[in-house]
Amino acid sequence: MSPGRGDPCRRVRRAFDKIGAQFEKANPGVTVKFNYNGSSSLATSINQGAPADVFAAAAPQNMKTVTVSGNAAGTPQTFSRNTAEIMVEKGNPQDIKSVKDLADPKIKVAVCAPEVPCGAVAQEVFKKAGVSVKPVSEETNVGGVVTKVTLGEVDAGIVYVTDVKANEGKAGGVPIPSDQNAITEYPIAQVKGAPNASGAKAFISYVLGPNGQKVLASFGFMPPG
């Protein structure tokens, strides 16, 4: 069975790797193969006929690309959610305490490009906080922002809570109040014409069930809600 899964977040990959291993153990004879390319690229590939059983997207708009083309079997379901956090250099030398601090031109900030899910989240956070932030770097994925912060190339970046948790010891985190924050939903669906339709249904059920949700929670992801 070959689910497509796109998200640069290393924590997502580790969570799905663990879920896949548990699923294989619970279903002898089944092999789960993941494709961790960006979910926008995976959506395009699926629409072009690339074989896959399951598509789990990093953002609803990437899933919509597949559903509007009629290439999803059934209605996508949200399997997890994530929210934003400010990642700062280890020790927070700039003493950043809020989103408004990121508007200070002396603070070097990295974000994802606006067309990337984590970039859209950053823009929503800035809008809700009522600030104008001029980043020194716009990355193609959240991993790029994490790298900039952990290497000390920037003072702060907007990433996901799970990214801060994954880099404990290398960087710090400054929570964003809920009224300024943005939530990203991760949808999952069976691909139309899945080579292993029964396996796809079973895998999705496993991800949405208590075992899959327990793994996702252990990596810092929020429940579907």
| pLDDT in the model for residue 2 | 53
Beta carbons within 8 Å of 97's beta carbon, 6+ residues apart = 174
Per-residue confidence band for 130, with pLDDT thresholds at 50, 70 and 90:
very high
| pLDDT in the model for residue 115 | 84
Angle at 176 between CA 96 and CA 170, to 5 degrees: 55
Alpha helices in 27-141 (DSSP H): 39-47, 60-67, 117-129
Q: How many CB atoms lie within 10 A of CB 16?
A: 23
- In this chain, the answer to whether the domains covering 3-81+184-218 and 83-175 adopt an identical fold is yes
- The answer to whether the beta carbons of residues 62 and 43 sit under 8 Å apart is yes
Beta carbons within 8 Å of 8's beta carbon, 6+ residues apart = 38, 58, 141, 142, 143, 144
- pLDDT one-digit tens code per residue, 46-89: 999 999 999 999 889 889 999 999 999 989 999 999 999 999 99
Q: Which CATH architecture has domain 83-175?
A: 3-Layer(aba) Sandwich (3.40)
| pLDDT in the model for residue 117 | 82
Q: Domain residue spans in the chain?
A: 3-81+184-218, 83-175
Q: Please tell me which residue, 128 or 61, carries the higher pLDDT value.
A: 128
- pLDDT one-digit tens code per residue, 166-217: 899 999 999 999 999 999 899 999 999 999 999 999 999 999 999 999 999 9
Please state the φ and ψ torsions of residue 60, each to the nearest 5 degrees: -55, -35
| pLDDT in the model for residue 93 | 97
Task: Please determine, looking at this structure, whether the domain spanning 3-81+184-218 carries the CATH number 3.40.50.620.
Answer: no
Which residue in the block uniquely carries the two structure tokens 């899959």? 212
